[in-house]
Amino acid sequence: MDTHHMRICIAGAGAIGCTLAARLGGTHGTINVFARGATLRQLQRNGITLHDLDGTHCVRVNASDSAAELGPQDLIFICTKAPALPAILQQIQPLLQPETIVIPVLNGLPWWYFHGTDGRFAGSAIAAIDPSDRLSTLLPDRHLLGAVTFITAHSEAPGIVRCANPHLMILGEIDNRLSERLEQIRTTIEASGIETRATDNIRDQIWTKIIANLTSNPLSVITGATLEQLYGDERLSPLVRQLLDEVLLTAAAYGARVRFDPASIMEMGAGMGAVKTSMLQDFQRGQPLELATIGEAVVELAERAGLQMRTTRHVLALTHFVSERQRAATPPAQPH
């Protein structure tokens, strides 16, 4: 693979997608972005502005709402929210060629979690995410490169993003090989200023991110609390610790090796500062929540392992209630 002339596309121009496009565009040349609506118009007029710890990055991108117009790509980052995944995978089919590498940058459990490995549930689907195997049909495993992204970004406006913490991505093949293409993609991303690591067990990293997401995201919707409040406030942190213990037990049931002890996880969460979770940001914008991948899928795996996750179930039920109440109170959008 000629990484110097690689055709790179970001599918989804939210906070994470714009962060990747801005950083990659600064070192790799023009990045293609698949976007729609007001965001597309903003990107076509003004490009992307990213404010992060390294300063301000202003880049022009080739933005379009037509995958056919963008044409086949060598590397695609899927940066939509999980509820939009079936639609986006259908729309990007013109971007795919036999050797295209696709990196889904998503929160929670991926639909391919049981693909590419041996074991009791090898090859099985996760009903909460992909009950009919539609995602696997739209995106065969040969295209996939697993990723866990630790980027805390928020959109101030379409195409304008701010990040207050360091960027980190961890990449891994879904069959745990340390392949040549894995190293090529790692070095490409690393050159953009994003710390990028390769691993021979991407699922361990997935559980680490799930622990962060599941202990903070749903509860933030119920309470409106920031990360430092969730993990540090004496009224909230005991509940967060209960969630943490449940998800750690589920991760252990699937052989995951989590590097951090519970006290360290709580301390790191509180140290993130007055940051709103991505789910709280989605809730405040009236957008669908990623409860299936972050919550229900984990509960499904717990059930397969004979675990209950009682506190997690209660918090997820409350989050659904709050979200449904908001939707019922919000009048439907009028067509333009």
Catalogue the active-site residues: 209
3 state SS of 163: strand
CA distances from 251 to 77, 268, 275, 281, 286 (A): 26, 19, 26, 27, 31
CA distances from 233 to 8, 164, 215, 222, 230 (A): 42, 21, 14, 15, 6
Of 9, 18, 14, which Cα lies nearest the Cα of 62? 9
Sheet holding 48-52, edge to edge: 55-59, 48-52, 160-163, 153-157
Backbone φ, ψ for residue 260 (5° rounding): -110, 145
Q: Would you say 10 and 31 are in contact if contact means Cβ atoms under 8 Å apart?
A: yes
Q: Show the tokens assigned to 289.
A: 């929540």
